[in-house]
Structure 1
């Protein structure tokens, strides 16, 4: 989970880097602090769409610059193909569109779990079934009535595909292109910044509480004479639980306007105790 979150953020940084150069009318150079493999895939995608062209013959050079097609013959759409199961993940893209006054829309493909599992079984490298079930539980459907920024959204059933669906998608894209997101007014920006600072403080406290819970759980396991190998395996599992727990907490925090109504330490400890009991039961 953590790996994909970092990967998604990196792609958004590359996209913003392209937008900055496009708006300024600059040559397009590789961004600093990039992951070379990811960057090459991103640049290759832009080249395939004929949005950028190598300026020199040293296309594989780290210092290679590209020429940008500043007057494309067609509208430019950036399609971000990802699960984006949490609303806060999609909101990051919306913020980027708002910052640069771009159009924004969401296409949500509604698919039942049994259909997903059947399609997944036909893949060359199918995902574990528990991953599919986890996605179903975490998926947050666009809710324009509650979140105004999601108003330009379309939900389609994926068991069928009709000409009408295609027309709806085209209409969605046209609406986004014709109605770019307006930048925030200054006072709204300040309020958002205050909320972000508050959220960071709450999550920091949660992180500290979870770390203490992990430490206490490891002490309990050691007192029950687990072997060094078992202790290492337990530590790995608890660390993975901690990362996923805090990630879920972060998104839950975003959705509840920074008001946590749960006992973080108690909830995490319950999950950690379940892992420890698995090891103790083998004694």
Structure 2
């Protein structure tokens, strides 16, 4: 179903992207409010102030691959910078997350891994927000996927939001040391589940920011045709499956989605996207109130933190297993023993990850009091015990 913003008439709630100029991209395109709540530097997310306020906004672009999201994000960035005088950070998930897979073991990325990468990217965005709010350098999170973090930093550098001359160890300087103008974060991804968009809403609420959604409504036949023209097309089956599962904004069910707009990219039209820009302005002027005692938010933060830890551990376990299997092959271990060794090591990995997930393991007692390096050392120890059965002289 179509979603309509609460402060627009229904007849104005669907606009067209046909007139948006297409640049070099993978997304070709057929042509009474709440008081402002914003932060001063050094304040906690729930604090407010009247001077030196930092106004933040989040705009989530959602839709099928090749529905026109990249073209729309460029258009919005240009309009908000030139006509509104705002700072804009466009974060295109496909430009940042896939690079992290280079650290994998040639195995297909599981949905749980993809989900943890998304959570990790939100953590990077929050680090960027904290640097702006506190007027300090952007430093790298302790737990991070190095290639993915570097892609995120390049994304900010390319938009002149951080300095390109600073180093990793010292952190990255913001290009504007005293940001008094608004900053809009435009997140470009499929966001086909409501739960994916709700995570961004939670982050916007945590920092008393504006929040809105733009749902790109494009016929699947057009998406498939455009996608095939890309240098790295998404498989047709993936797009068709996503089309069956996609959850468009539903303001009748979810009050948090009331600032949503359906944007059609189907054919020529003379609209000037006033509705789109108006929605972003309205969202910025009406930020989400932050409630300090928010049990739901605390639980979400706990889950995100836990997921990031699981992702880091999973990567290290996979690397250890890969190195162990390579050593076993070099030692001319028989095919039968190699199979049994792989089965035992993968079971060990699964047991460790489940222990970390549950947090009440006998093997990993009081994990939150231990560093991840302690867990890896324990994994090495139990790995060695298994390997001794197949390569007795090795460990």
TM-score by length of structure 2 reads 0.45
CA deviations 1:131-180 (Å, max 9, x no partner) are 01110111000011221100001101121364525211111111111111
State the distance in 2 between where 1:18 and 1:51 align. Answer: 10
State the distance in 2 between where 1:98 and 1:134 align. Answer: 31
State the distance in 1 between where 2:187 and 2:177 align. Answer: 21
Q: Structure 1: which 5+ residue stretches go unaligned?
A: 198-227, 240-283
Is the partner of 2:284 in helix, strand or coil?
helix
State the distance in 2 between where 1:114 and 1:99 align. Answer: 39
Bigger helix share: 1
Q: What residue number does 2:186 align with?
A: 79
Q: What residue number does 2:127 align with?
A: 17
> Where in structure 2 are the equivalents of 1:21-40 lying within 5 Å?
21-40=131-150
Pairs aligned (count): 198
Is the partner of 2:187 in helix, strand or coil?
coil
Q: Quickly say closer, same or farther: Cα 1:13–1:184, change in 2 above 3 A.
A: same
CA deviations 1:178-227 (Å, max 9, x no partner) are 111111363xx236768999xxxxxxxxxxxxxxxxxxxxxxxxxxxxxx
State the distance in 2 between where 1:94 and 1:81 align. Answer: 14
Contact map agreement 2:202 2:297 (CA 8 A) in 1: no
Contact map agreement 2:127 2:139 (CA 8 A) in 1: no
Contact map agreement 1:30 1:62 (CA 8 A) in 2: yes
Q: What residue number does 1:217 align with?
A: none
Contact map agreement 1:101 1:180 (CA 8 A) in 2: yes
Q: Quickly say closer, same or farther: Cα 1:13–1:169, change in 2 above 3 A.
A: same
- Aligned-residue CA RMSD in angstroms? 3.0
CA deviations 1:20-73 (Å, max 9, x no partner) are 12112222212212222211121122222222225xx5x4x4313222224347
Contact map agreement 1:142 1:150 (CA 8 A) in 2: yes
Contact map agreement 2:214 2:263 (CA 8 A) in 1: yes
State the distance in 2 between where 1:73 and 1:196 align. Answer: 28
Contact map agreement 1:113 1:136 (CA 8 A) in 2: yes
Q: What residue number does 1:146 align with?
A: 253
> Where in structure 2 are the equivalents of 1:123-202 lying within 5 Å?
123-160=230-267, 162-164=269-271, 166-184=273-291, 186=293, 189-190=294-295
CA deviations 1:87-137 (Å, max 9, x no partner) are 000000000000000111101001222222121222222222110111011
Higher relative contact order (CA 8 A, sep 6+): 2
State the distance in 1 between where 2:287 and 2:262 align. Answer: 20
State the distance in 2 between where 1:195 and 1:26 align. Answer: 26
State the distance in 1 between where 2:300 and 2:121 align. Answer: 25
Aligned to 1:5, which of 93, 115, 138?
115
Contact map agreement 1:156 1:165 (CA 8 A) in 2: no
Q: What residue number does 2:378 align with?
A: none
> Where in structure 2 are the equivalents of 1:90-129 lying within 5 Å?
90-129=197-236
State the distance in 2 between where 1:163 and 1:74 align. Answer: 31
Is the partner of 2:241 in helix, strand or coil?
helix
TM-superposed CA distance for 1:74, in Å, is 4.6
CA deviations 1:223-261 (Å, max 9, x no partner) are xxxxx8xx99xx9xxx9xxxxxxxxxxxxxxxxxxxxxx
State the distance in 1 between where 2:267 and 2:207 align. Answer: 36
